[in-house]
Structure 1
Amino acid sequence: MSTRARILEAAAELLAESPIADVSTRAVCEAAGVGAPALYRQFGDKEGLLSAVVDHGFEKYLAGKRAAVPSEDPVRDLRNGWDSHVAFALENPSYYRLMYSPTVSGTPAAAVEAHQLLLRVVERCAAAGRLSVSPEVAAQMVMSANTGVALVLITRRELYAPEVSTRVRDAIHAAILVPGGTPVADNGGTASALGAQLRRSPQEKLTAAETGLLQEWLTRLTD
């Protein structure tokens, strides 16, 4: 393991154990078995170290998401995405706590990418006529609930049964998805599907303003 990786791992472990989500650079150096000059040479200062720890955690998370191969069933991919998110949190609790810590300033670019990857799956559900709300709303509901479940399972595990993840997942999916075989017109699925198609293949006969207005109408009908 490289010096940089040792420092990142040591910082993540110490921060996860800290009740105030803080740690000294001296403690990190001792845990990683390196001198202070090595830490400052790699990260500049303590703030740079903390930012790097968060980025490193997201990179580990995104590696699996980027490698996921879409199946023919977007709803199944959405379900598998939820499960893999929770699995990552349980396997990497130190990093996960930092990734979604309220002490982290700003929104890491990797967090934006994670949301966009989820949005792609949700867009596929919409295009298949399986979404009863707009893709943006669906992605926000899934990500917030998924993150919440993962956090309670790694911070208050003694209070929650493992199956709570499956139950919350199914409840959220029931709220945003049209059941298979259900007429989409009764569930907002038609407007959602049309909106997804418009985003995928913009109509050349419509101006940008007309496209934006139509998209807004479809979103309102969906939500």
Structure 2
Amino acid sequence: MTEAKAHIVAAVAQLIDEHGPAAVTTRAVAQAAGVQAPTIYRLFGDKGGLLDAVAEHALATYVSGKTVAEEGDPMAALKAGWDTHIGFGLANAAVFGRLTDPARGADSPAAAAGLEVLRARVRRVAATGRLCVSERRAVELIHAAGTGAVLTLLAMAPENRDLGLADAMYDAVLQSIVTDAPVRTADGPVAAAVAFRTVVPDLPMLTDTERALMAEWLDRAAGA
């Protein structure tokens, strides 16, 4: 992002924080950023493009602060990521609504980066042998549940929001994707396939073709 665009995006973000999305008018933005209206249209096209840039910047800043620790309890890390996601959505209602608008499509680089963080956390759980669905299915379920939980809470008046709803949603999803303890191969073929799938890319004794074929077999066994 150029310096000029970043300056305007910062001004819009401040307007939204202080006065809400309705305050974002061309005149207000031009005054807050100290630019002429034509500059805004030239850089962002229209108000929709400007709001998209603001949402993307906010999400990118949030995602850049997320890391996947290589040590520690994978289940605790997954729950921490969920809690952070819920907190971000509730604290950034306008941004979250913009990012989850189906009309925008799925072309957000920051959203894609966020999903990669989630995939990495799910992969750590899979490696323990506790995941009883494919990694892809687990990511899709967690992402859908998290988005739905935030949107449901945002639709409520702030004083009526029950954050226990988000916790209950997480527990419900967890019951459908993980087992209580690592399973043995004989007792849990799906979990075993999912766990083994996490190490396939790191098997040096196999060729690329063999790794791809083994990954395909294991995905099929896991129901991916």
* Common fold by TM > 0.5: yes
Quick check: 1:193 aligned with 2:195? yes
Residues 160 and 7 (structure 1), Cα distance of their counterparts in 2 relative to 1, 3 Å cut: closer
Report the CA distance between 1:207 and its aligned residue: 3.0
1:114 aligns with 2:119: no
Gap regions ≥5 residues in structure 1: none
- Indicate how the Cα distance of structure 1 residues 2 and 109 shifts in structure 2: closer, same or farther if over 3 A, else same: closer
**Structure-2 change in CA distance of 1:15 and 1:121 (3 Å):** same
Cα drift, residue 78 of structure 1: 0.5
Pairwise CA distance, 1:13: 7.5
Judged with a 3 Å threshold, the aligned counterparts in structure 2 of structure 1 residues 176 and 106 are, in CA distance, closer, same or farther, namely: closer
Counterpart mapping for 1:1-223 below 5 A: 3-10=8-15, 16-17=21-22, 24-29=25-30, 35-37=36-38, 39-40=40-41, 43-46=43-46, 47-66=48-67, 69-157=69-157, 161-180=162-181, 182-183=183-184, 185-187=186-188, 188-199=190-201, 201-204=202-205, 206-223=206-223
Distance 1:216 1:189 in 2: 15
Letter in 1 for 2:141: M
Range with bigger deviation, 146-155 or 1-10: 1-10
Gap change, CA 1:70 and 1:95, over 3 Å in 2: farther
* Residue type at the aligned position of 1:195: R
| Count of paired positions | 215
Q: CA deviation at 1:122?
A: 0.7
- Report if aligned partners of 2:183, 2:191 keep a CA contact under 8 Å in 1: no
Give the C-alpha shift of residue 148 in structure 1. Answer: 1.0
Q: What amino acid does structure 2 have at the position aligned with 1:104?
A: R
Distance (whole Å) between structure 1 residues aligned to residue 80 and residue 109 of structure 2: 23
Residues 46-55 or 7-16, more deviating: 7-16
**Alpha carbons 1:131, 1:176 under 8 Å: kept:** yes
Comparing 149-158 with 187-196, which one deviates more in the overlay?
149-158
- TM-score of the superposition, structure 2-length normalised? 0.81
Q: Identity rate of aligned residues, in percent?
A: 32
> How many angstroms does 1:216 deviate by?
1.5
On the 8 A contact 1:11/1:28 being kept in 2, the answer is no
In the alignment, the residues of structure 2 paired with residue 70 and residue 154 of structure 1 have an alpha-carbon distance, to the nearest angstrom, of: 33
In 2 relative to 1, CA 212–6 (structure 1 residues): closer, same or farther, beyond 3 Å?
same
Provide TM-score, normalisation by structure 1. 0.81
SS at match of 2:102: coil
